[in-house]
């Protein structure tokens, strides 16, 4: 491609990008990455928290269903498998660190044999809103 200067001489310009153009493009890409990565990490945390909430809701619902059907509360989470759950879902820590709470003795099905009333996470981690995961019930 030929360009003519005002003086009438001709210059030949090679095709390609200048160093300045490359630097601008790379800078724009880095800015976009700097914006996207924290948002992606935040979305991963929210997905993990949503899964924990879903697992807690499911476990506590199944404990209630078991208690209503059997007329006594389950003695362990393993009592829920296979009749009510295919498997015990994992806690957000990646292992089964569920902490069970006993049922209320005044409202228990069998006061001589109290069972599980509810479950919560045993994770020591803190959620994105600042509350400990272990305080979540469902």
Tens of pLDDT, residues 25-37: 999 999 999 999 9
What's the pLDDT at 31?
A: 94
Backbone angles phi, psi at 47, to 5 degrees: -65, -40
What's the pLDDT at 28?
A: 95
pTM above 0.85, yes or no: no
User: Residue 137: pLDDT above 70?
Assistant: no
What's the pLDDT at 26?
A: 94
What's the pLDDT at 57?
A: 87
CB burial readout 15-43, b (16+ within 10 A) else e: eeeeeeeeeeeeeeeeeeeeeeeeeeeee
Retrieve residue 102's tokens. 């006993």
- E-assigned strands of 46-122? 99-102, 116-120
pLDDT band at residue 8 under the 50/70/90 scheme? low
CA 126, CA 138: separation in Å to the nearest integer?
16
Tens of pLDDT, residues 62-100: 988 888 888 888 888 888 888 888 888 877 766 568 878
Retrieve residue 44's tokens. 């991963």
- Residues 6 or more apart whose CB falls under 8 angstroms from that of 116 comprise 63, 73, 74, 75, 76, 77, 100, 101, 102, 103
Point out the least confidently predicted range of 1-10, 33-42, 44-53, 100-109.
Answer: 1-10
> Do residues 99 and 120 touch, judged by C-beta distance below 8 A?
yes
> Do residues 60 and 115 touch, judged by C-beta distance below 8 A?
no
């Amino acid at each position: 491609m030929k360009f003519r200067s005002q003086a009438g001489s001709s210059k030949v310009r090679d095709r390609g990008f200048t160093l300045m153009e490359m630097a601008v493009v790379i800078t724009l890409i880095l800015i976009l990455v700097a914006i996207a990565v924290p948002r992606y990490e935040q979305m991963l945390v929210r997905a993990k928290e949503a899964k924990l909430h879903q697992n807690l809701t499911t476990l506590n619902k199944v404990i209630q269903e078991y208690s209503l059907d059997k007329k006594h509360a389950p003695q362990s989470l393993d009592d829920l498998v296979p009749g009510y759950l295919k498997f015990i879902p994992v806690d957000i820590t990646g292992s089964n660190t569920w902490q069970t709470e006993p049922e209320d003795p005044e409202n228990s099905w069998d006061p001589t044999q109290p069972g599980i009333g509810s479950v919560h996470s045993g994770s020591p981690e803190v959620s994105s809103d600042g509350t400990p995961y272990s305080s979540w019930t469902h």
